[in-house]
A = this chain, B = another copy of it.
């Protein structure tokens, strides 16, 4: 059994973007969607600025003991009328670096986000995971998530 890597979870900074994009691209679905040339396309930095300005969104990274970024996650806390006006949490872009998987890093990220959502009054945390990501679905089930919904998407 591989040892658990204890990580520090902190807000992402502008100089983490390259590491985040590399993790998003290191994936069967993500590789077709991202561009990892240097310098990175400016659209990534513009998006980071939009994320930074939005007080309901936290983009965080997991950092190992050497200060290397080994995971990321975006948590949106969304107000809404339903469920008696309870906010809900939405998890997006949960990734762990390819050479650091199966060491509990994703679990630490998701559990951080669930705690943060609860602390902000959410009664629900939700996410969409592609039908083909069977391992991810098992991972989330182990953390208490149910396969309760169908996630539907339209791309332009």
Contacts and interface: CB of A to CB of B under 8 A. Distances in A.
A152 B126 contact: yes
A150 B133 CA distance: 9
Q: How many copies are assembled? A: 2
B149 A154 contact: no
A6 B137 CA distance: 41
Which range contains the number of A residues in contact with the other chain? 35 or more
Interface in A92-139: 92-93, 114, 118, 122-131, 133, 137
A81 B47 contact: yes
A55 B20 CA distance: 26
Question: Helix, strand, loop or mixed for chain A's interface?
Answer: mixed
Contacts of A24: 81-82
Contacts of A43: 84-86
Given A125-B154, A148-B153, A156-B122, A93 B80 contact: yes
Nearest to A44: B85
Contacts of A44: 81, 84-85
Contact of A151 (B17, B118, B128, B133): B128
Which of A131, A141, A156 neighbours the largest number of chain B CB atoms within 10 Å of its CB? A156
B152 A145 contact: yes
Given A24-B82, A47-B85, A150-B150, 7 more contacts: A34-B84, A44-B85, A48-B81, A57-B78, A124-B156, A125-B154, A128-B149
The 9 closest A-B pairs by CB, nearest first: A149-B151, A47-B85, A50-B79, A43-B85, A128-B149, A151-B151, A145-B152, A44-B85, A126-B153
